[in-house]
């Protein structure tokens, strides 16, 4: 009888240990599954779509958008006439663009602030012609009509005189070419609009 009892006890112990082992294995598996699911959710371990990040960068950086659409762009120092003296508006990137009406426009984005230093349509008037400046090397002066740049209310005027200082001779020559092209194209556009009325 003791043998039978011993066998039964061994069987019960074996069953309990198997059950215990199965429970331990399943708990270990569930812990691994939880760890794996947590790691797949972690943003540092997920693979990013490289095209998506480029699109987001363009949305976040207006310079990339303007650079893509610009006819010509260059680095510059921009000044405006205030009380018979040129005051610095800022350092940044200057763009020649076409607006929705196909008119040539100037836009300057100031470094760091990302605010407009200048934003206006190139006037076809001869009074707004580009003039070579003697103040700095590689610099021009021109008059802008109704500039939309971000400036304090007390500095807003109908006409703004700008001075731009460019980095090199190549930018200096290209700036003049595109500005004069913009004047003639805007003049044609305005004349065609008048004739259509």
Using alpha carbons, select from 151, 164, 16 the residue that is nearest to residue 77.
164
Contact by Cβ (8 Å): 68, 88: no
Number of domains composing the chain = 1
Alpha carbon distance 58, 158 (integer Å): 33
pLDDT of amino acid 195: 86
Alpha carbon distance 104, 21 (integer Å): 79
Asked whether residue 156 is domain-assigned, the answer is yes
pLDDT of amino acid 55: 43
Q: Is the pTM of this model over 0.75?
A: no
Asked whether residue 174 is domain-assigned, the answer is yes
Asked whether residue 62 is domain-assigned, the answer is no
Asked whether residue 30 is domain-assigned, the answer is no
Quick one: pLDDT band at residue 26, thresholds 50, 70, 90?
A: low
E-strand spans in the chain? 72-82, 85-98, 104-110, 116-121, 131-132, 139-145, 159-166
State what percent of residues in the chain have pLDDT above 70. 65
Backbone conformation region of residue 30, classed left if phi is above 0, alpha if psi is from -120 to 50, else beta: alpha
Alpha carbon distance 144, 79 (integer Å): 12
Asked whether residue 16 is domain-assigned, the answer is no
pLDDT of amino acid 57: 45
pLDDT in tens, 165-182: 999 999 999 999 999 999
Token reading at 97: 């663009």
- 68 CB burial (10 A radius; 0-12, 13-18, 19+): exposed
Q: What is the mean pLDDT of residues 69-97?
A: 93
Q: Which domain holds residue 154?
A: 70-196
pLDDT in tens, 28-64: 555 555 555 444 555 545 555 544 444 444 456 667 7
The CATH code of the domain that includes 94 is: 2.30.29.30
Using alpha carbons, select from 87, 93, 173, 89 the residue that is nearest to residue 130.
173
Asked whether residue 111 is domain-assigned, the answer is yes
Q: What is the mean pLDDT of residues 96-124?
A: 91
Asked whether residue 50 is domain-assigned, the answer is no
Asked whether residue 75 is domain-assigned, the answer is yes
pLDDT of amino acid 160: 92
């Amino acid at each position: 009888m003791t043998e039978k009892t011993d066998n039964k006890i061994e069987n019960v112990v074996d069953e309990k240990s198997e059950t215990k082992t199965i429970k331990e294995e399943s708990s270990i598996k569930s812990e691994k599954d939880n760890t794996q699911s947590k790691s797949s959710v972690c943003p540092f371990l997920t693979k990013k779509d490289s095209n998506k990040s480029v699109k987001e960068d363009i949305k976040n950086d207006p310079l990339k958008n303007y650079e893509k659409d610009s006819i010509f762009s260059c680095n510059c120092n921009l000044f405006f006439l205030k009380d018979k003296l040129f005051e610095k508006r800022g350092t940044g990137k200057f763009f020649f663009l076409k607006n929705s009406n196909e008119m040539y426009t100037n836009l300057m984005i100031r470094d760091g602030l990302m605010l407009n230093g200048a934003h206006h349509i190139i006037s076809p008037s001869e009074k707004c012609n580009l003039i070579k400046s003697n103040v700095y090397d590689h610099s021009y002066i021109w008059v802008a009509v109704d500039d939309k740049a971000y400036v304090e209310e007390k500095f807003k005027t109908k006409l703004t005189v700008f001075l731009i200082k460019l980095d090199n001779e190549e930018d200096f020559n290209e700036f003049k070419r595109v500005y004069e092209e913009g004047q003639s194209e805007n003049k044609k556009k305005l004349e065609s609009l008048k004739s259509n009325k």
